[in-house]
Structure formats: C-alpha cells, structure tokens
Amino acid sequence: MKKVFQKNQMIIMTLAVVIAVAGYVNYSQKYDPAGTKNSKTKTVSKNVSKESAAAVTDDVTDVGEAVLTNAQVSNYVAKAKLEREQTHSKAKDTLEEIIKDQTVKDSVKQDAVDKLAMLSEQMEMETAAENLLGAKGFLNSIVTITNGKVDVLVNKKDLSKVERSQIEDIVVRKVGCQLGDVVISSIKTEE
C-alpha cells in the first residue's frame, strides 16, 4: 500500500512540474522582453513629446499587469487542479485499503468498490468536460462534481448568453446531470 501511495505522490509531483514547465514555456514564448524574436530596429522621430512618451509608458505598464493577472489565473487553476487530484488520490487510497483489508465485511468491501468506481467515473467526467471546454475556447476552466452537483469555474469575466449555453451544454452532456445542477462562476481577477 505504501508503494501505491508513493506512486500517486510521484504522479502528482510530476504533474505539478509538467504544469509549471508548460506555463513557463508558454509565457516565455508569448512574451519576449529582450526582443530576440523580432530583431528589426525601428527608427523613432526625435520630436517625441513628453505626453506621447508617458502614454507609451502607461501602455507598457498595462501590458505587464495583464501578464501578471494571466499568470496568477494560470497558477490558481494549476493549484486547484493539483489539490483536486490530491484529494481524489487520498480518497482512492482509502477505498483501496478498505477493499484489501481482510477483516472488513464483504458488504463494506462492495460499498468501497462501488464508491471507487464512482470516483473513477467522476474523475473521467471532470477531465472530459474540462478538455471540451478548453477546445471551445474556455481555457483554464475547472469542473468539480460533488454529490451530483457540478461547479464550473471559467477564466472569463463576463459570459454572454451564448457562451453560458455552450458551457451548460458541454457539462450536461459530459456529466449527465440536470441543467439546474450546474453552477457557472468566473475566476475573479485583479484589474
């Protein structure tokens, strides 16, 4: 049992490292502060007023803030998914211990087997819904299923009715729940 727990910890740690590396690579490819991607030089007029220079400085500051906010959301999503995986892993380990325990009654073992199967199915549905949401443009989304209720966190400040309908359709199809059991929330970002 200790090997299974260590294996799960190793998988979770590897997943965390892969997410961190992917985030870094994505960030470094998207934003090249040194300008090495485009080495063409631009000639700027010597008659630049102080006002236009201040406007350029303001624009650069805003871009930096947007990057920071996007990175914060990505970190939040990665952390939330990692915590969810750890919780699922602990529950799975506990259920497997009950199943392997020779002193436990058969009815309790069967209940643990049923719960383990339900947990595996729940994990598959969460992943399938998140993948389809990502394919539809809702990147960094989190789907959590608890007692037949589904919470969806999306990285979008304002959702149109069409976008909300798309999310609801995906979740209802992939999870098999009722529309009233779906709650969609936005991940709060700092402005």
Cβ 20 vs Cβ 90: under 8 Å: no
Cα 176–Cα 98–Cα 128 angle in degrees, nearest 5 = 25
**Which pTM value belongs to this model?**
0.61
Residue 163: pLDDT above 60?
yes
pLDDT value of residue 61? 44
| Average pLDDT of the segment spanning 143-168 | 91
pLDDT at 120: 93
State what percent of residues in the chain have pLDDT above 70. 66
User: Does residue 36 sit in helix, strand or coil?
Assistant: coil
The whole-number average pLDDT for the span 132-161 is 91
Cβ 104 vs Cβ 37: under 8 Å: no
Q: Which residue has the higher pLDDT, 9 or 141?
A: 141
Higher pLDDT pick, 66 / 77: 77
Where does the pLDDT of residue 18 fall: very low under 50, low under 70, confident under 90, or very high at 90 and above? low
Q: Are 154 and 144 in contact (CB under 8 A)?
A: no
Q: Percent of the chain beyond pLDDT 90?
A: 47
CATH 1.10.1760.20 fits 2-27+58-186, yes or no: no
Task: Say which range, 37-51, 68-82, 147-161, has the weakest mean pLDDT.
Answer: 37-51
Q: Where are the domains of the chain?
A: 2-27+58-186
Q: What is the pLDDT of residue 155?
A: 87
Mean pLDDT, the chain, whole residue set = 78
Task: Count other C-beta atoms under 10 Å from residue 181's C-beta.
Answer: 15
